[in-house]
């Protein structure tokens, strides 16, 4: 099914999404990679206020190419980075910061799936490498925080219009499309080796 959601996204809306749905997001998407995840959770532990409230927003695993044209930021290319690296942070990120959609590539693990189920969130895959497509859907850079982490690691706040297509890959029932596909592939190992005359 194809769904378009506007931020802030409610828990009810996100719980209706199912693995395999195609999702487009309009509103606010914030990039965060390894260092930004780490710092955000440090802030939470120390009770400090974050520069942006993630509640109902989408967090995007992305290190964009951005350049300044006059006074404005121009996003040149902004495809997703490998999400697995953020697995160690994402449960807490979803629980504490109430992000409703996590966007990235390559899939995430059991802990993230558990968080999606418990707190009401989804993991949605954006096509790896599709950096221009992503940049096209970004209408404006609303702000940038933590730029001391460097261009790829900073928190970029993007205003987006029909950002996608995103494939819902972990839903709030805890189904994990990438994990299921991986298990199916592993089950095909023998057939593949037989095809090659090895077994």
Interacting residue ranges for other proteins, rule: CB under 8 A: 20, 22, 62-65, 67, 76-79, 81-82, 84, 105-107, 125-133, 135-136, 150, 152, 165, 167, 177-178, 180-182, 184-186, 188-189, 191-193, 195-198
Residue corresponding to tokens 């309009």: 26
Write 38-45 long-range contacts (CB < 8 A, 24+): 38/89, 39/146, 39/149, 40/93, 40/97, 41/89, 41/92, 41/93, 41/96, 44/92, 44/96, 44/97
Catalytic residue among 5, 14, 36, 37: 37
- Which of 60, 27, 69, 61 is closest to 159 using CA atoms? 27
Least distance in angstroms from the C-beta of 168 to other proteins: 9
Least distance in angstroms from the C-beta of 33 to other proteins: 12
Task: Please identify, using beta-carbon distances, which residue of 10 and 185 lies nearer to other proteins.
Answer: 185
Residues 6+ apart with CB under 8 A from 177: 19, 20, 107, 125, 167, 168, 169, 170
Least distance in angstroms from the C-beta of 157 to other proteins: 17
Task: Please identify, using beta-carbon distances, which residue of 116 and 166 lies nearer to other proteins.
Answer: 166
37 catalytic? Reply is yes
Task: Please identify, using beta-carbon distances, which residue of 19 and 97 lies nearer to other proteins.
Answer: 19
Task: Please identify, using beta-carbon distances, which residue of 53 and 132 lies nearer to other proteins.
Answer: 132
Q: Which residues are catalytic?
A: 37
């Amino acid at each position: 099914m194809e769904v378009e959601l506007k931020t802030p996204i409610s828990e009810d809306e996100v719980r209706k999404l199912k693995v395999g749905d195609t999702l487009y997001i309009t509103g606010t998407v914030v990039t965060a990679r390894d260092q930004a995840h780490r710092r955000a959770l440090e802030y939470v532990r120390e009770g400090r206020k974050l520069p942006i409230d993630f509640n109902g927003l989408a967090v995007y695993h992305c290190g964009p190419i951005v350049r300044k044209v006059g006074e404005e930021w121009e996003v040149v290319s902004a495809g997703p980075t490998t999400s697995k690296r953020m697995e160690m942070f994402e449960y807490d990120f979803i629980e504490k910061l109430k992000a409703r959609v996590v966007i990235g590539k390559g899939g995430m693990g059991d802990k993230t799936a558990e968080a999606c189920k418990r707190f009401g969130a989804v993991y949605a895959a954006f096509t790896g490498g599709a950096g221009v497509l992503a940049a096209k859907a970004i209408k404006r850079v609303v702000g940038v925080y933590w730029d001391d982490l460097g261009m790829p690691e900073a928190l970029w706040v993007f205003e987006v219009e029909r950002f996608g297509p995103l494939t819902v890959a972990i839903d709030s029932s805890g189904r994990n499309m990438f994990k299921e596909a991986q298990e199916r592939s592993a089950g095909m190992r023998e057939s593949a080796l037989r095809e090659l005359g090895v077994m």
